[in-house]
Structure 1
Amino acid sequence: MDVQSWTLVLVIISFSIYIGIAIWSRASSTSDFYIAGGHVPALANGLATAADWMSAASFLGMAGLLSFTGYDGSVYLMGWTGGYVLLALLLAPYLRKFGKFTVPDFIGDRYYSNITRTVAVVCALLVSFTYVAGQMRGVGLVFSRFLEVPINTGVMIGMIIVLFYAVLGGMKGITYTQVAQYCVLIFAFMVPAIFISIQMTGNPIPQLGMGAEVLGEEISLLDKL
């Protein structure tokens, strides 16, 4: 088979796995749908969060940003990562303790104000739509390359697949699907980095290769970059 056929097969297999996981872990209660029943292991939660970080915004957007801006673009990478850490430390634990499903519910009850609840809803919608728009564009771009379809068609395909396992499985299905996606994404992140490091420095460990000398040149990779 040619590359296009192999790509199509791998895409079908991966999304079949995602949908299968959503069916297997489908929500059976409100608690399952919104917070996965509160029984997701810490490791699975960590993998799912990492998969969220390694989304189209990171895999495509950050890579493109760093490619165009160089080191200056790393500030976005640090802010992007730091924001996840701040949310995990300063908001998520208290949301769980309050027993609320959404951030607006938590903020409204925490400050005893419907005004703050409304502000939180508006902020959540604004941020979510902005984020999802970028993500869907990335999904459409990926599908357009893999399946050789227009970007708009790729967006529709991605939306249908995501809608299916999100509605069926809720947060429980999404969490375990994200775990599977993490395995795919970390492989996709690591393989190019390893081979680029081998090609440029002869070192198969990218972190060590960054401080090594470029093959055939008496200059470190960091200095060359």
Structure 2
Amino acid sequence: MTDPQNPWQNPEQWQQPTGQYQASQYQASQYQPGQYPVDQHPAGQYPPTSQYQVQPVHNPAWSMTPLNPVLPEEMAPPRPATITAAMWTWIAAAVLAIAVLPVLILGNAASLIGDSTVTAEDRSAAELGVTSLAVFAGFGMLVAAAPYVAFAVVLRNGHSWARILLTILGALGVPTMIGTLLFALNAPAWQPGVVLSVLVLGLTVAAVVLQFLPASNRYVR
């Protein structure tokens, strides 16, 4: 016997007829796909992932457009003609300076050997000594001229320290060339030595002037 006051004893009252709720009774969501606010999606009714459209974000800072590389040669100012002329003038002066002493020695070999009445053996030995002296003098001038060539090449790139060192070397080389010129003037065969000495002196002065012209000053740093 069931108690009418106890509803739990009548389970039929809690049973819903099968199919009581039709699909049409569900109201369509007021939110369209892709418009669900955060944390407000109906339980179990999240839209498919494919319905979301992701818009790409464009940031100019992320642009992958390649930049043209800037080479050091393009960053540096153009080399003026005065610097190029100074470099080649220094090199020419150095090359001629190497030849000055050997030319003087070999050109005056007869006077250095002495009396032509000496025996052939003594004369051959004297000639060998003069030739050795000329070679030794040429090697010494080659060593002395090497810094001129090296610093002249560095000057081509506009380094101020190379210009300073070349100026110092030029100041030291001028008295040497003047002494060589005086020696050549007193030699019997003086013409080759004098010409070379004058050329070296003139080229040295010209190189110093060229490397300090206004165009060179703007380039050297």
TM-score by length of 1: 0.30
Structure with greater contact order relative to length (CA < 8 Å, sep ≥ 6):
1
Q: Which has the larger radius of gyration?
A: 2
Provide the TM-score with structure 2 as the length reference. 0.30
Q: Which has the higher helix share?
A: 1
